[in-house]
Structure 1
Amino acid sequence: MTLKRVPAIFFRTEAGNEPVRDWLKALDQVDRRRIGEDIKLAEYGWPIGMPTCRPMGEGLHEIRSRISNGRIARALFYIDAMQRMVLLHAFIKKSQATPAEDLRLARTNKRKHEQGLT
């Protein structure tokens, strides 16, 4: 049995919400399954490069998924001190560059998670 090299967990807000889990639940089953397969590929194969994962700077990485209707989904994560993939933020990409607001939100969530680690 192959073990996950970096098991994925969801970032949890102070209010107890899990933004990436909630985002995934709002997608249809086909898209959710495709993104889940890409996350699983990263969990078992870490470190993994393009086309599945790409470093985004400051310890952030993105999982790149092609979903229905030609859309592109991104899930931003980092590897924490306990060697877990912490899924911080996710979105459907609408432009060539990753929006600064999405990167800012992921970095903010990363800092919050790092401060809350035991």
Structure 2
Amino acid sequence: MKQLVYYSTAAGKEPCRDWLNDLGLTDQAAIHAYIDRVAMGGAKKNVKPLGDSIFEIKIDRGPGFRVYFGQVGQKIILLLIGGDKGSQKRDIRLAKEYWRDYESR
């Protein structure tokens, strides 16, 4: 299983964790289950490469939840940000920005 790590901004904020914590417990559990499946090498049909080393996990629940991540080597999944279909364009832009920030530090 790959290690799951939450991206942290220079100011110490964790956008993906903050987003998850704002959701209800049932949604949190479902999203964590999808993320865990991806970390174990499963749920491939729900993972889409977006370019610039960013991937999207599409979660078949609620308003079309998505989680964006980058892969650090072969062992770490860096969780960047989460959102839903309505915020998808903004979330992808932020995920790419967060990934560039991560790589620069």
Question: Could you tell me the TM-score, scaled by structure 1's length?
Answer: 0.81
Q: List gaps (5 residues or longer) in structure 2.
A: none
- In structure 2, the residue corresponding to 1:94 is in which secondary structure? helix
- Look up the match of 1:74: 66
Aligned partner (choices 50, 59, 65) of residue 56 of structure 1 = 50
Alpha-carbon distance in structure 2 between the residues aligned to 1:111 and 1:58: 9
Query: In the TM superposition, what is the alpha-carbon distance from 1:81 to its structure 2 partner?
Result: 3.4
Q: 1:108 to 1:91 in 2, by over 3 A?
A: same
Q: Does 1:86 align with 2:78?
A: yes
Name the aligned partner's letter for residue 80 of structure 1. V
Runs of 4+ in 1 over 4 A off after TM superposition: none
- Look up the match of 1:13: 9
Query: In the TM superposition, what is the alpha-carbon distance from 1:82 to its structure 2 partner?
Result: 6.5
- Look up the match of 2:99: 110
Alpha-carbon distance in structure 2 between the residues aligned to 1:43 and 1:102: 21
Q: Does 1:31 align with 2:23?
A: no
- In structure 1, the residue corresponding to 2:33 is in which secondary structure? helix
Name the aligned partner's letter for residue 49 of structure 1. K
Query: In the TM superposition, what is the alpha-carbon distance from 1:105 to its structure 2 partner?
Result: 0.8
- Look up the match of 2:59: 65
Q: List gaps (5 residues or longer) in structure 1.
A: none
Largest Rg, 1 or 2:
1
Aligned residues with identical type, % of pairs: 29
Alpha-carbon distance in structure 2 between the residues aligned to 1:91 and 1:74: 5
